[in-house]
Amino acid sequence: MKIDELTLWTVNVPYARPFTSSFETRTGTTRTIVRLRTDDGLEGWGETMHGSPVAAIITKIYPQLRGTDPHQLQRAAGAFHMVPYFYGYLGAAALAGLEMACWDLIGKAAGRPLADLIGGRVRDTVPITSVLTPGLVGEPEGAHALGDALVEEVRRVQKSEGACAFKVKGSTDPEHDVQVLERMRAQLPDVALRVDPNAHWTVPRTLELARRIEEIGLEYLEDPVPGLDGMTAVRRVLRVPLCTNMCVTEFDHVAPAVRLGAVDVVHGDVHRWGGIAPTRRLAGVLETFGLGMNLHSGGEIGISTAAHLHVAAASPQIGYAIDTVYQYLEHDVVTAPFTISAGVMTPPDGPGLGVEVDHDALDFAARAHERDGDLLL
């Protein structure tokens, strides 16, 4: 079995409601879809973050993969070792898309789902976090109004999806965010809450608000401030676990983070860490150093959602409800879109990733990208 053909689609899938963070408002997600065909007729599918820049990198490096056995993942990783060095996040994402398609091929050749190939399931269903943003509830003015609107959204989601963990996307104003969370906690005393301002708070203001933050009872505080030094300064004072997907994003960052005591939980992400195998390796490293692990969401649609569900199902180190914004999507490109029920999603049982692509939906999403271009920064 040799890889013989690459086809790429860059797609836009709209969100049903705007996704607002501390730095942008997204109306949808842009993804790059990868299909690898082998000389014996198998098809392997992958998906990765971002659009045109990542697709260009994949096109550039694919000739080194063509003609190889998809099982030779370590050899491919060695050949592509410098790609993240030269291309950063986008380079890692390019490798992730190709590697995911290889895993899909390997699973289909073996007749086994991905989770079985990476150690076997330790859980049959995967707990899901519901991500809350101001755009989700119409951008009400004032912290109290926003807090009340988010409480109503939590109650709606609890009834419709059964979610028990909720992450609030923060703003550039920590006082405002803390007031929102205080308002929510007063009405939702037992719900697991997190907040993520994407490193837009400052160290002095975070420390000034430390006691109020502690009293909210967060599951963890995600990337309140920039950089390992800033996170360390906050961690020394604030008695709330700190999580990151912004200052520990490469293996070289883990040792400094451990030495400084900067973080308690690290978000893995198949796309940011360069693939399924590196993300699994990250799980072992974090376990060795006694750090927690979760999975970050960058706007995955069905193919990558399947990959993250398989990784979460086979990784005992992931001890939290994983992030997803899947419930924001207006549609998907797989024939059997995922559902969220009782606060969980279920990894597919079929071979490889276990999903089939809806070609009409894929072409529709590709035309949307041709019309609107990349939706991400």
358-373 pLDDT, tens digit per residue, is: 999 999 999 999 999 9
Are residues 278 and 315 in contact, defined by beta-carbon separation less than 8 angstroms?
no
Q: How far apart are alpha carbons 335 and 302 in whole angstroms?
A: 9
What three-state secondary structure class fits 16? Answer: strand
Does 190 score more than 80 pLDDT?
Answer: yes
- Contacts for 252 with CB less than 8 Å, ≥ 6 apart: none
Q: How far apart are alpha carbons 25 and 317 in whole angstroms?
A: 32
DSSP state of 321: P
Which pLDDT value is given to residue 106?
Answer: 98
Domain 116-345 has CATH 3.20.20.120: yes
Averaged pLDDT, 189-204: 97
Angle, nearest 10°, between helix axes 251-260 and 276-288?
20
Are residues 176 and 212 in contact, defined by beta-carbon separation less than 8 angstroms?
no
Are residues 167 and 131 in contact, defined by beta-carbon separation less than 8 angstroms?
yes
Sign of torsion, CA 112 333 274 327? negative
- Contacts for 198 with CB less than 8 Å, ≥ 6 apart: 21, 22, 23, 169, 170, 223, 246
Which pLDDT value is given to residue 22?
Answer: 81
Q: How far apart are alpha carbons 150 and 135 in whole angstroms?
A: 10
Residues of the chain with CATH 3.20.20.120: 116-345
Share of the chain above pLDDT 90, in %: 95
Summary mean pLDDT of the chain: 96
Distances (CA, A) of 299 to 11, 28, 184, 228: 12, 8, 25, 25
pLDDT in tens, 275-300: 999 999 999 999 999 999 999 999 99
Which pLDDT value is given to residue 23?
Answer: 83
The band of 11, judged by pLDDT with boundaries at 50, 70 and 90, is: very high
Are residues 33 and 20 in contact, defined by beta-carbon separation less than 8 angstroms?
no
Q: Nearest 5°: CA angle at 333, between 100 and 48?
A: 30
Q: How far apart are alpha carbons 364 and 357 in whole angstroms?
A: 12
Q: Is this prediction's pTM over 0.85?
A: yes
Specify the amino acid at residue 201. W
Domain 3-111+358-372 fold: Enolase-like; domain 1 (3.30.390)
pLDDT in tens, 306-347: 999 999 999 999 999 999 999 999 999 999 999 999 999 999
Which pLDDT value is given to residue 343?
Answer: 95
Q: How far apart are alpha carbons 168 and 137 in whole angstroms?
A: 12
Residues of the chain with CATH 3.30.390.10: 3-111+358-372
pLDDT in tens, 98-139: 999 999 999 999 999 999 999 999 999 999 999 999 999 999
Specify the amino acid at residue 368. A
